[in-house]
Amino acid sequence: MRTQTVPQRTYRSFFTDSTYWDHYRPRPGDIVISTPPKVGTTWTQRITSVLVFQSTDLPAPLMEISPWLDCAFAPLDQALATLERQRHRRFIKTHLPMDALPIHPEVSYLVVGRDLRDAAVSAHNHAMGTSRAAEHLPPGPSGDDVHTPVHPPVSEDVREFWHGYFTRSAFPWESDGWPFNSPTRHLESWWRHRDAPNVLFLHYQEMLDDLDGQMRRVSAFLDIPVDEERWPELVAACTFSDMRAGQDRIFGEDTIGAAAASFRFFHRGHSGQWHGRVTEEDLALYRAALEPLPADLRAWLARDA
């Protein structure tokens, strides 16, 4: 992690295009927020925003300030132009694993994980929403290296969705995460580098349990001093209730913002939502998906069990 690395994998599908990162030009102090879908991505972007700006107010909607650079259905030139114009410390979203990204020593990486049973339920809600919005979105990438080129149908049955989520991926070299990329492979790609000075792991449950403390961890990691006088206001702005109430600060009118605003983007914002919704047979699929992971990563992921 102390030397620059180039991507080892190419991810191209209906929702992501890792080749967009070929156009990224890092600046010292850049922040990359790398997460599997539905584990607290927007939450972490919001936390980062109040630290960077030292304010609850933003100069533009969050999703425009902090672009999802590898989004396959959003204009790349627009995201790059946004980043080029910015003079504040930039923070960028990605759903790609580490080996699909260029890694730079002068860039800080925030990696977020969550109990994947809850992530699966939240991903079900999200995938139904994106499936309905897909017909209004521009076409994704094309070419022989594109896997799952169109958004697949999504069942309303959470158990049917769960089965796909834990047994297949949008990409043939992965084994879970359908219809997106693999959350297990994503987190494992970063886990071996978790002690690097420019990598910080955050857990969704710890953010729920102690938002103040976890925001202080992010502040220290990013070397952004805490203004104790303003701190309670900044923490309050990062609660789910505040984000739901102020969605105009989150979603813009661009392609991504309009799609996200078309359905219930913030699902429930708590843990344990899988209880009572799946069977023991379903849970066996979850355990099998996690079995190849290092034991300490499995324990870390399921800490809220």
Q: If you search the block for the tokens 């295009």, which residue do you land on?
A: 17
Active site residue 151: no
Which residues, at least 6 apart from 85, have a Cβ–Cβ distance to it below 8 Å?
none
**Crossing angle of helices 280-290 and 116-133, rounded to 10°:** 100
How would you class 136 by CB atoms within 10 Å of its CB: exposed for 0-12, middle for 13-18, buried for 19 or more?
Answer: exposed
Catalytic residue among 95, 104, 186, 267: 95
Measured CA distances, 268 to 38, 40, 46, 123 (Å): 11, 11, 17, 12
Helix (H, G, I), strand (E, B) or coil at 106: coil
Among 188, 159, 160, 164, which residue's Cα sits nearest to residue 176? 164
| CA pair distance 98, 106, nearest whole angstrom | 15
What tokens were used for 99? 């080996």
Q: If you search the block for the tokens 């960028």, which residue do you land on?
A: 92
Q: Which residues are designated catalytic? A: 95
